[in-house]
Amino acid sequence: MTDLNTLQLTATTALGGTLPQEARHGALRMAENSGLALASLTLRRGTTQPAPFGLALPGPGAWGQAGRHAALWMGPEQWLIEGEGLAETDFATALQGQCPGCSVTEQTDGFVAFEITSEAGEAPILALLARLVNIAPDRLRPGMGTRTGLEHMSVLVIRRAPDRLALLGLRSAAATLWHALTTAAARLG
């Protein structure tokens, strides 16, 4: 029988470590963002569009940010809400409190998030995008995001800034996504 008084659980990131993974290739830095909380938000019939945490919910193909919160448009009256540094909180409950009458579903543990930054402006980000996804890099401007395919997996790509990109995928595919990302970045040299 297990002695529950001595049982210790160790939190692990999506890539299986106790600390988030990081890698550098040329001007690109890639990092697992284990602190990002996620929740889906859907309007119900008869509800008005809220502004959770002071966040203006974006329209089709757009992403918007207000402080440590952000939103990605996912479909008509549907958004993915982000909470930077809030993964260890009950983010969905906090969001539900901001959006009475809406449907909110916790998503944090279902996804892995990778943040990619460039020390040399947007050119390396555009080059990486061209290798990773089937979106014309110049069409994914800062403040935009979309769902697309990456090596037969569905991912969300968010252009946070000219020199910053986020890639969100299923947590169960974290290692495969990390391999695809770091391999593509290494080939850019």
Reported as a single tens digit per residue, the pLDDT across 32-42 is 999 999 999 99
Long-range contacts of 48-57 (CB under 8 A, 24+ apart): 49/77, 50/98, 50/99, 50/100, 50/102, 52/81, 52/95, 52/98, 52/99, 53/95, 53/98, 55/81
Mean pLDDT of all residues in 2-26: 86
In a domain, 2, yes or no: no
In a domain, 15, yes or no: no
Residue range of the domain that includes 64: 22-188
In a domain, 13, yes or no: no
Q: Which CATH number does the domain housing residue 44 bear? A: 3.30.1360.120
In a domain, 96, yes or no: yes
Q: How many domains is the chain partitioned into structurally?
A: 1
Judge whether residue 2 has pLDDT over 60: no
Reported as a single tens digit per residue, the pLDDT across 40-91 is 999 999 999 999 999 999 999 999 999 999 999 999 999 999 999 999 999 9
Whether this prediction's pTM lies above 0.75 is answered by yes
